[in-house]
């Protein structure tokens, strides 16, 4: 990806240059606890490697990756015990959504009653 910054915080987490509390990993994705949680359980799920910077960069070629990302999120939610009471998956894109890290990521939020989406 042309404007991918390999010094972004998630790239550093992937390279183990900064620590993270990993809760899941497979060949394509890792998930770790958010450092500034917005819910009792807040995990960030990211693709390995040079990911799209955000939703804006997605193309048809990302269809399978996005599907797998979503399925991995459901697996993680189940493993974290969120399935019964529910959870929310969030992808922030751009300044109005408050995106701060430009490596595609999905937030998994749960563990307590969440506020309204908007």
Q: Which is nearer to ligand AMP, 66 or 84 (CB)?
A: 66
Beta bridge partners of 24: 31
Residue 44 touches ligand AMP, criterion: CB under 6 A: yes
CA-to-CA distance for 39 and 33, rounded, in angstroms? 11
Q: How many CB atoms lie within 10 A of CB 44?
A: 22
Residue 92 touches ligand AMP, criterion: CB under 6 A: yes
Q: Is 42 a catalytic residue?
A: no
CA-to-CA distance for 27 and 21, rounded, in angstroms? 18
Judged by the rule CB under 6 A, the positions of this chain that interact with ligand AMP are: 9, 18, 20, 32, 34-36, 44, 92, 98-101
* Catalytic sites, residue numbers: 105
């Amino acid at each position: 990806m042309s404007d991918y910054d390999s010094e972004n915080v998630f790239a550093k987490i992937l390279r183990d240059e900064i620590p993270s509390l990993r809760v899941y990993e497979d060949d394509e994705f890792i998930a770790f606890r958010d450092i500034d949680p917005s819910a009792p359980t807040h995990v960030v799920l990211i693709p390995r490697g040079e990911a799209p910077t955000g939703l804006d960069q997605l193309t048809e070629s990302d269809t399978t990756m996005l599907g797998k990302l979503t399925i991995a999120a459901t697996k993680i939610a189940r493993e974290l015990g969120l399935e019964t009471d529910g959870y929310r998956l969030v992808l922030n894109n751009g300044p109005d959504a408050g995106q701060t890290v430009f490596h595609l990521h999905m937030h998994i939020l749960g563990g307590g009653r969440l506020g309204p989406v908007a």
